[in-house]
Chain A
Amino acid sequence: MSRVARARAFVRNTWRGLTSMRTALILLFLLALAAMPGALLPQRSLNLPRALDYIEAHGWWGALLDRLQFFDVYASVWFSAIYLLLFISLVGCLVPRTVEYAKALRDKPVLTPRNLTRLPHHLSAELDTTPERVMADARARLKGWRLVETEEDDGARSVSAERGYLREAGNLVFHFAMLALIVSLAVGKMTNYEGQVIVVADGSEFCNAGTLGYDSFRPGLRVDGTDLTPFCVRVNSFEAKYLPNGQADSFSAGIDYQAGDELAGDTWTPYKLKVNDPLRVAGDRVYLLGHGYAPTFTVTFPDGTKRTQTLQWRPVDNLTLLSEGATKFDPPGVTDAAERRKRQLAVTGLFAPTALIEDKLLTSVHPQLSDPAVAVDVMRGDLGIDSGRGQSIFQIDQSLVDSGRLTRVARQNLRQGEAITLDDGTKVSFDGVVPWVSLQVSHDPTQLWVLVAAVTMILGLGVSLTVRRRRLWVRATPGDAGRTVVRVGGLARTDQAGYGEEFHRLAAQLLGRGAGSGGAGTSRRGT
């Protein structure tokens, strides 16, 4: 064999192997197996801190799993490889099957077998009629079946009938829809993005203008964040209802939005944003994901200048919404950077929407905002804000405390309206609370395609699992004294079960009532 021929044979064999049913089956199970670790191990994409903790806690084993991409299963090389092979195998299966199906649609039903009694279903009777009349009757009764009639040598006539071609059509539709779904998902992965942002519900606005506006932003593979869909959202209010035991009953945020031409002017459309009820605007969706509280603090500096800030604190306990945070202030009128770094202030600690103070320890007993209080440390010194190092908006930089550059100057519990006066006469007051909402903006131009593909899949599946491909033959042979022996045979090409009833009904009709008593009919019964 020449080299070329050998290479060609190799390619052909590989292709055949890859597109065989057995391979598809094995790939299917591999895919199932490969997806499993994603349910059992924490995934980076879902919960980064937990994934990192897990790796940390499991030493070399964690590190090894990490190297093998077990914490990014669905983006891993091996998962993608199986997925891709399955895709190829699917294409390789489908193309020839479609061609075959197109041919089968034009083919005639197979000729009537010599011996109908060998078939899984058969019945016969001798009737007082002619073969022509039997044939005419069969044609009439087999409406919707594909028929072919033949005249046989001994004067007998027969008809072969077949139906249920829709089964294969449904099957093909299902598989092609699955291909479409996979392709849509892949395109979606390229073009989608998802951003999250916290907005205080006091009329603050958020505009989908660039990635910097977000607290976190996850772009698709082909998204660089430069052309986000422009729209703006203004959050006016937030309302949460709770049951007495603290279980949430309903959340809703009153918002206004504008998009398109409205952005230039001051037209806003109101909307009630709720869980299960995202705002759909300009092809994107805005979700209400979470909520919390932003306490308002006012610092009155010794020279009388006031600074007021309302900044979100984050829940540390989702049941009671006990929250932590750090509201940071720059001293006014200090231009010298070094001087400023000695006199920055941070109000940090815990916030409780329904406070319970026992032994000076603050806890929250209910998530509703009914009796708010804070337990705060006021820190003075260098907050490290202008060091260029990024820091959490919910915390102060502990290393600055450790190094003594930031020191605690007061610790106190405050109810709404109360204040602390510091040693230098600065007054810190806890003025009020505004709820905040966390919003998610999602952009996925292919999700409708995915839905259409999925619905098509299930329609195809329904057809292919309910329709049965089946055959029926009738042979009418002239008998003695002008009578005719009629034999009916049936065969289900797919699952045998269930054809029996239909066969018996049809055959009984063809043979006339009580036909069985006249002839030696037998049939295996199926259910």
Chain B
Amino acid sequence: MPVNDTLATYSDWLYRAAALVYVFAMIFYTIEQAFTRKAKKSEFARELIGAGAPTTPDTPAVGRIEEPAGAGKPERFGRIAVALTVLGALLHLGSIVTRGVATGRAPWGNMYEYGAATMFVAVVAWLVLLRKFDVRRLGAFVLTPVVILMFLGGTALYTSAGPVMPALQSYWLVVHVSAAILSSGLFLVPGVVSVLYLVKVRHDANPAKFAKIGPRLPAAESLDRLAYRTTIFAFPIYTFGIICGAIWAEAAWGRFWGWDPKETVAFVAWVVYAGYLHSRATAGWRGSRAAIINSVAFALVVFNLFFINLVIAGLHSYA
């Protein structure tokens, strides 16, 4: 399959444009943050206050909070930030699609492409969550790792468009790797949110700590819930991805499991995520401990991508 170089070039431009637009979105999120005096009462904060606060019961409890009329400046910045995020995601999608068309295969055959697709999932997951949870103020925190990873992907890990090696010419590339991309991208959000949870809890216990960002974060409980709900969505996909990897490995490498470094760290991260799910049901492990476990699990996913691919030689080193 010859590579369409023109399209591949467009793909690269779109990638850079997307990253740039994300940077602008980050700036606007940050401005919104800076101008917001203190945390708006989120849905969850209200919930904490208790059943005393009457709401009209016939408005279904979905969707975001109605903003008071005549939203202020920070509000406008926030909206621009979201619009920019959407624009960035569209450019990002364009970049992925054009690369797929240019190479005539699933566009996730090397680390650059893998990272690009994963970050796209993270951004889309974020935009979807934004509709359900009142967490727009966290935008800058979520986009920061996205932009950093995209920068790394576009420079150090960049691979020009081309065909993939024989071991990757299989429909399992589509199944296994897209499950890995989907779950890793989704995991990014709870990874970030759990860290913010820890910040918030420290701040709540001692307002002098994290005095700058603490007050602007949503209630700890809402962060915890957001992290949990995203994780339980991503975890079965991750499990599915690992099982598909094993099925593929049985066909490609002669065994379904062989403790290859990537497999090992995938297993470790899986076990830690399982630990996270259990910790939320275990007395004494809820809250901070669970959040630490979730952050560690996401760190392992990132470690698996970068360290294991780049430093440790294994069967997964295709990049």
Contacts and interface: CB of A to CB of B under 8 A. Distances in A.
A129 to B, nearest CB: 19
Contact of A504 (B61, B235, B308): B61
A285 interface: yes
Interface string A97-132: 000000000000000000001001011000000000
Contacts of B166: 248-251, 274-276
Contacts, number: 166
A246 to B, nearest CB: 11
Interface in A496-527: 497-498, 500-501, 504-505, 507-508, 514-517, 521-527
Contact of A516 (B57, B267, B278, B285): B57
Interface in B233-247: 233, 235-236, 239-240, 243, 246-247
B60 A440 contact: no
B268 A36 contact: yes
Q: Which bucket holds chain A's interface residue count?
A: 35 or more
Q: Which bucket holds chain B's interface residue count?
A: 35 or more
B254 A275 contact: no
Contacts of A498: 229
Interface stretch (B43-51, B66-74, B112-120): B43-51
B278 A275 contact: no
Given A248-B165, A523-B61, A22 B228 contact: no
A36 B269 CA distance: 10
A21 B265 contact: no
A517 B260 CA distance: 63
B271 A31 contact: yes
A22 B47 contact: no
A186 to B, nearest CB: 13
Interface string B203-232: 000000000000000000000010011001
A444 B254 CA distance: 11
B264 A21 contact: no
Contacts of B144: none
Interface stretch (A55-63, A150-158, A420-428, A451-459): A451-459
For B254, B255, B260, the residue with the greatest tally of chain A CB atoms inside 10 Å of its CB is B254
B274 interface: yes
Contacts of A278: 251, 254
A308 interface: no
Contacts of B225: 495, 497
Contacts of A43: 259
Nearest to B247: A451
Contacts of B235: 461, 465
Nearest to B246: A454
A213 to B, nearest CB: 17
A194 B51 contact: no
A523 B55 contact: yes
Contacts of B268: 32, 35-36, 39
Given A249-B166, A440-B254, A25 B51 contact: no
Given A21-B278, A39-B264, 5 more contacts: A39-B308, A120-B51, A248-B166, A251-B166, A458-B243
10 contacts: A21-B282, A25-B282, A38-B259, A250-B166, A276-B248, A505-B60, A522-B54, A522-B57, A523-B55, A526-B61
